[in-house]
C-alpha cells in the first residue's frame, strides 16, 4: 500500500485533484494519530478533537491543489506542520478575544467548536514564537522539531523526510531541545 500512497502523491503533485480523495481514506487513521499526538499534551478542556483537526488539514490541502510530498512520511510531516499552524491560528484567535478583540468564534467544524482553553493559549503561542525565533537561526532545526514533536516521527524517519543523516538529525534534535527548554521552559512535549 505504501507504493500506492506514493503514486497518489505523485498524481496529486501533477495536478490530479482526485488523487487526494483516494489517498485520504487510506492514510486517515495515521493522520488521526498525528492529531492525537499534537493534542496529547493540551489541556483536558481542549475542545478541538483529532477528527476536526484532520478535517481542517484536508480542507487546507484541497485549497492548495498540489503538495510537494514525496512519500508517506513526508506527507505526514507536512500534515503535522499544517496542524501546528491550525492550532496556532486558533490560539491567536482566542488570544485576541481574551484581549478584547473580536469575539467571533472560529470553528473548524460546525459541530465542534475550535477554541482553545485559556491555559493552553499561552503554551501554544510561546512555542510558536520560539519556533519563529529559531527559524531565523536555523530553518533545519524548525523542520526537525516539526517532524519530531508535531508528526511524531522517529529520528530515522525525520532524517529520511529531511534528506539528512541520522547523526545530523540527532545533533540538531539535542541542540534544539536544549534551546527550547532555555527559551520556554520544559513543556511536556520535549520530555
- pLDDT score, position 115: 35
**Cα–Cα dist 156/148, whole Å:** 10
Mean pLDDT of the 159-184 span: 89
Crossing angle (nearest 10°) for helices 166-184 and 118-137: 130
* Residue 187 reports pLDDT greater than 60: no
Looking at per-residue pLDDT, the higher value among 123 and 9 belongs to 9
pLDDT digits (tens, 9 = 90+) for 84-141: 888 777 777 765 555 454 433 333 332 333 333 445 556 667 777 888 888 899 989 9
- pLDDT score, position 106: 33
Q: Which three cell numbers stand for residue 163?
A: 534528506
DSSP 190: G
Query: What is 127-179 written as a DSSP string?
Result: HHHHHHHHHHH-HHHHHHHIIIIIS---HHHHHHHHT--HHHHHHHHHHHHHH
> What b/e string do you get for 143-169 counting C-beta neighbours within 10 Å, with b at 16 or more?
bbbbbbbbbbbebebbbbbbebeeeeb
DSSP 116: P
The domain tally of the chain equals 1
**Cα–Cα dist 179/171, whole Å:** 12
Domain region containing 106: 2-190
- Are the CB atoms for 53 and 28 separated by under 8 Å? no
Crossing angle (nearest 10°) for helices 72-98 and 118-137: 120
What is the torsion angle, in degrees rounded to the nearest 10, for the CA atoms of residue 67, residue 71, residue 73 and residue 75? 20
**Cα–Cα dist 47/117, whole Å:** 7
Amino acid at each position: 500500500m505504501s507504493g500506492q500512497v506514493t503514486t497518489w502523491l505523485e498524481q496529486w503533485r501533477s495536478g490530479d485533484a482526485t488523487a487526494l480523495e483516494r489517498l485520504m481514506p487510506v492514510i486517515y487513521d495515521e493522520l488521526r494519530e498525528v492529531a492525537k499526538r499534537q493534542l496529547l499534551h493540551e489541556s483536558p478542556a481542549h475542545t478541538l478533537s483529532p477528527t476536526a483537526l484532520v478535517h481542517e488539514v484536508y480542507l487546507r490541502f484541497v485549497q492548495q491543489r498540489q503538495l510537494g510530498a514525496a512519500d508517506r512520511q513526508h506527507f505526514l510531516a507536512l500534515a503535522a506542520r499544517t496542524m501546528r499552524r491550525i492550532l496556532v491560528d486558533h490560539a491567536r484567535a482566542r488570544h485576541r478575544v481574551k484581549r478584547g478583540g473580536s469575539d467571533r468564534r472560529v470553528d473548524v467544524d460546525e459541530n465542534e467548536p475550535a477554541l482553545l482553553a485559556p491555559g493552553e493559549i499561552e503554551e501554544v503561542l510561546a512555542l510558536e514564537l520560539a519556533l519563529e525565533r529559531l527559524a531565523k537561526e536555523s530553518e533545519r532545526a524548525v523542520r526537525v522539531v516539526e517532524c519530531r514533536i508535531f508528526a511524531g516521527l522517529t529520528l530515522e524517519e525525520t532524517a529520511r523526510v529531511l534528506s539528512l543523516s541520522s547523526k545530523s538529525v540527532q545533533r540538531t534534535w539535542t541542540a534544539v531541545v536544549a534551546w527550547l527548554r532555555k527559551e520556554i521552559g520544559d513543556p511536556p512535549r520535549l520530555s
